[in-house]
Amino acid sequence: MSDGYTKKRRRLTQKQEKFVEAVASGSAPTLTSAYTEAGYQVNGKGSTLRTNASRLAKKPHVAPIIEERKAAYTAHAAASLAGRRNYVLQRLREEADNPDSRASERISALALLAKASGALDDAKERETKRSTATEADLIEELHNRLSPYVDEPLDVTPEGVDTPDSVDDT
């Protein structure tokens, strides 16, 4: 049910738009530099600039747009990174399977693929990862390593440890 009132988003000025873009994209390392890049006045104390930049970033019609654009930039960067990773892995697979390549090139491609998949991580690397891992991380690693060999996940919960499924609510 509508009460006939819908809140319109206030339009940004050109300077605000430039500020939002600089902050969201990360092209400006600080709010103050984004503020000055956007064309706001730079004369005065540095503390005044910092205060004004901070106030602008917190304005109710500016802050949500900064967050939306940051999220969009982050999503785009993640998709781009995943695309580049897939491209590199595909090219390595092609090289590893190419009978016209020299054996050393195929072996190098296979070694890189194995490293990317974690198939050949050495004991020192595993120890480093495991020393900071939580119990859940270790159990997940165990399940991942065993999944090619067992159909159902094994219960690896230590005896005497309550799990969410084993707690008696009576």
Q: State pLDDT tens for residues 87-143.
A: 888 888 888 888 888 888 888 888 888 877 777 666 777 777 778 888 888 778 777
Q: Which residue has better confidence, 38 or 89?
A: 38
| Token pair listed for 83 | 């695309």
In whole angstroms, give the CA distance from residue 100 to residue 113. Answer: 19
How many other C-beta atoms are found inside a 10 Å radius of the C-beta of residue 47?
9
Report the predicted TM-score, pTM, of the whole model to 2 decimal places.
0.50
d(CA 150, CA 121): 22
Please state, in angstroms and as integers, the Cα–Cα distance from residue 61 to each residue in 12, 20, 48, 52, 163, following that order: 8, 11, 21, 15, 46
- For the record, the structure tokens of 13 come out as 């000025």
